[in-house]
Structure 1
């Protein structure tokens, strides 16, 4: 029981470190991550008084990344 709890705490610590590092680096390069939301395939429609933005490619990419992370977690914590 304590072994799986230890793995979870290590994983959350690594994720916090990773996201903290991204936030620190994003602040140095202009306040936001340059590739998130500006990928080819993201839909942007601008008219005079109307702007519509749908980050289609960004959504698909984030979905794939989260799916991979959850697959890895299920592989790590699978009961044999």
Structure 2
């Protein structure tokens, strides 16, 4: 039983380090390349409704693109590790 707990803690630690590294990497990319990423969120297919007292924005295409990229990264990670 203790062996299982220790293994789970090691795996959890690895995953937290990987997630933290990814967050730092995304932060660096946004910090240095923000001016080149203006198109993100303004793609064709993103729903934007603006009225006098109302704004609605639903980034459908941006979310689909982000989901596709994340899915590819997860599959690559599983393939190589």
What is the TM-score when the length of structure 2 is the normalising length?
A: 0.63
Q: Which runs of 4+ in 1 moved over 4 A?
A: 14-18
* Cα offsets for 1:32-54 (capped at 9, x unmatched): 82121110110000011000000
Higher percent of residues as helix: 2
Q: Does 1:42 align with 2:46?
A: yes
Normalised to the residue count of structure 1, the TM-score between the two structures is 0.64
Q: Which has the higher contact order (CA 8 A, sep 6+)?
A: 1
Q: CA deviation at 1:64?
A: 0.2
What is the CA–CA distance in structure 1 between the aligned matches of 2:58 and 2:24, rounded to whole Å? 29
Picking from 66, 71, 75, the partner of 1:67 is 71
RMSD: 2.8
How many residues align? The count is 67
Larger Cα Rg: Structure 1 or Structure 2?
2
- 1:3-42 aligned at under 5 Å gives the runs 12=18, 15=22, 18-27=25-34, 29=35, 33-42=37-46
